[in-house]
Amino acid sequence: MSELLSTKSIPVAERLIVALDLPSIPEAQALVEELGDAVVFYKVGMELFMAGDYFGLIDWLKARGKKVFVDLKFFDVPETVGRAIRALSQRDVDFATIHGNDAIMAAAAREKGTLKILAVTVLTSLDRGDLDDLGFSCDIEALVASRARRALALGCDGVISSGLEVPLLRREVDDKLLVISPGIRPVENRPADDQKRVVSVEQAFRNGADYIVVGRPIRDAGDRRAAALAAQAQIAAVFSSPASDA
């Protein structure tokens, strides 16, 4: 097993972020209520942004003691992104994602306040063929490492990265970088799944991730609370193992 476990002082129960990838606010609230104390941290993304009272949902989550990750992947003219992040920083939000070049990352970092800014490296739905289509000649690992180094140097707090690339980030980038890994699949990935670069819960953390984002494996489970508790048990086991004592 890898010896790259995160040493940051993050409560173990908060290392699981559940994606509220649902078409309506009531459905998202129903999932949160169903999961109860099994989950502390939630990601709210574009689908819910288009569903209605997005910020009302955030306030509802915070009133229940939850942490909130705004996953809107801000990508626009740097001045526009900076102003959007400035407005978001006035709300009680914990994480937010941005996309884009150095100027966009720097603009977001200048306006973040206490909000933690996470730069997207390479989406977990992309593979080598997709990067070829987009005109990137470098390999995935080189691109992820480059974007992570630049994000940290420009004042961002962390990155979104597949668990597959986390060992590279831990070797080549300052350990203060927060690494959040989506594309978590507790079982073998289905052929129809659009997530291509995936890892298990245990592998993500053994590779050095600070947090994981889990969506469909919990949202689509027959017993969603049981699925969340199972993920939490796996995380707790990783961080209570002898390899995590250092």
The structure tokens listed for 84 are 């959007």
Q: How far is CA 58 from CA 42, 68, 137, in A?
A: 10, 7, 39
Q: How far apart are CA 103 and CA 49, in angstroms?
A: 25
The structure tokens listed for 133 are 């289509």
Q: From the candidates 8, 62, 67, 73, which is the catalytic residue? A: 73
Total H helices, total E strands in the chain: 11, 8
Contacts 24+ apart (CB under 8 A), 124-130: 124/162, 124/182, 124/183, 124/195, 124/196, 124/197, 124/198, 125/183, 125/194, 125/195, 125/196, 126/196, 126/197, 127/196, 127/197
* β-strand partners of 43: 19, 69
Q: How far apart are CA 205 and CA 211, in angstroms?
A: 8
Q: Is 112 annotated in the active site?
A: no
Residue numbers annotated as active site: 73
